[in-house]
Amino acid sequence: MTLTEKDSQYLWHPYTQHKTSQTPIAISRGEGALLWDENNKEYIDAIASWWVNPFGHSNKFIADAIYKQLTTLEHVLFGGFTHEPAIKVAEKLMEILPKNQQKIFFSDNGSTAVEVAIKVALQYFFNKNEKRTTIIAFENAFHGDTFAAMAASGISFYTQAFQGMFIDVVRIPVPIKGQEEASFEALKNVIEKHNCAGFIFEPLVQGAAGMVMYEPEALSKLIGICKENNVLTIADEVMTGFGKTGKTFAMDYVDADPDMICLSKALTGGTIPMAITTFTQEVFDAFYDDDINKALFHGHTFTANPTGCAAALASIDLLQTNEMQANIERIHKSHLTFQKKIESHAKVITARTLGVIFAVEIKSDSEESYYGSMRTKLYNFFINKGVILRPVGNIVYILPPYIMTDEQLQKVYKTIEEAIEMV
Ligand SMILES: *Cc1c(COP(=O)(O)O)cnc(C)c1O
């Protein structure tokens, strides 16, 4: 039996309707921006395996750091204990995060990082005896698949089975160009009408919505409105963090600082699942009390796993090298050139670039749903050509590992151009 046949016997895949979906591709090996399947077919990983892998597959520098940690201290519980890798990650993050971030809390994935942030926002006001229970989020947001994260997410078919079972979330429009005022007004309105605890947002780019982008000035204004009204702000940098937008964090473009930041995905260079939620001292202090009930009673078994911490430290080291910063700049410029070339194409609605993120919207005769027919046609075309891209409806985006070569990038662009001709 092939791996694919054995897979269908036992495995349940994410976001997959097994009755109608195609069989998964069994990948046996990866190096740099490339992956090979069990029949040795080569693929370019143009979406960094769901945005986690900036430094390439099977990265030796991170692997060595992991091996060294595994053979020194692989894991120890974090309740009542601590260790150097966690402390070093904290010290490193203090150097690179917005200066108001002072405390870090570890968990396992993007959803849990968000879950922690939302729970902290709600308990912050509970601890202060203030009744504030509403969370504000953007339309079409994606914050993960655990319950509070799902509640904050606005992509409906992900969450429709659970409507009515969620914490209170009120949605406001994203301040995309030309619609900033509507977004500001909606926020003011929501704050006036509800007892709002927090506002969660994907800064500058909504990944799962199809790399929808908006300007730092608009976000700065929204954060300002929240601050005036004592509403906590949560920047979900799970996708945007660690260089994707051209700066270390998307929030580095924004004048205003958030109260909390969620990190995961590229945190460990795509090796070990790990996440972090960071906080201001002021948020932490609302839990600091003689009363044990004011503590944050949240934790995960693998909290601050030392091996994950070692992977994170090695990844941040790689990100900070001149070579990697030059790669980010190189890919950004390359995207801009491609954008210029393609945006006037008759079948292109619009194209956009931020950092290493590029997206193009393709004209479609029918209303394109997320998993609609154009999406399937595009996806299959790319896979046949040996390029891994996962379109969102009629939006094709590239989020390459930073080490992708110019030659590989050109192949990705060429394949997208061919796909546009084909659909
Ligand atoms: C992927 C993602 C999450 C969820 O992360 P998981 O590790 O899949 O739980 C949350 N927020 C954003 C912005 C994401 O892109």
> Probe ligand 1: pick from 53, 204, 238, max atoms within 8 Å of CB?
238
63-319 shares the fold of 3-58+323-422: no
Residue 96 has pLDDT above 70, yes or no: yes
CA–CA gap between residue 139 and residue 137 (Å, rounded): 7
* pLDDT number for residue 331: 98
What's the whole-number mean pLDDT along residues 222-231? 98
Query: pLDDT per residue over 346-403, tens digit each?
Result: 999 999 999 999 999 999 876 656 666 899 999 999 999 999 999 999 999 999 999 9
For 7-57, the DSSP string reads HHHH---TT--TTTSPPPP-EEEEEBTEEEETT--EEEETTHHHHT-SS-B
CATH number for region 63-319: 3.40.640.10
How many Å lie between the centroid of ligand 1 and the Cα of residue 20? 25
**% of the chain beyond a pLDDT of 70:** 98
CA–CA gap between residue 137 and residue 152 (Å, rounded): 6
The domain 3-58+323-422 having CATH identifier 3.90.1150.10: the answer here is yes
Question: For the chain, which residues make up each domain, given as ranges?
Answer: 3-58+323-422, 63-319
How many Å lie between the centroid of ligand 1 and the Cα of residue 142? 7
Q: Whose CA is nearest to atom 10 of ligand 1?
A: 143
CA–CA gap between residue 342 and residue 331 (Å, rounded): 16
Q: DSSP character for 162? A: G
Q: Report the pocket of ligand 1 as residue ranges, CB < 6 Å.
A: 109-111, 114, 142-144, 202, 207, 236, 238-239, 264
Query: pLDDT per residue over 253-275, tens digit each?
Result: 999 999 999 999 999 999 999 99
Q: DSSP character for 266? A: G
Rounded (5°) CA angle 402-407-409: 50
Q: What does the block give as tokens for 306?
A: 């030392």
Closest ligand 1 atom, CA of 149?
10
Residue 155 has pLDDT above 80, yes or no: no
How many Å lie between the centroid of ligand 1 and the Cα of residue 307? 21
Which residues fall within 8 angstroms of residue 214, CB to CB, at 6 or more apart? Answer: 174, 175, 176, 177, 180, 204
**pTM of the complete model:** 0.97
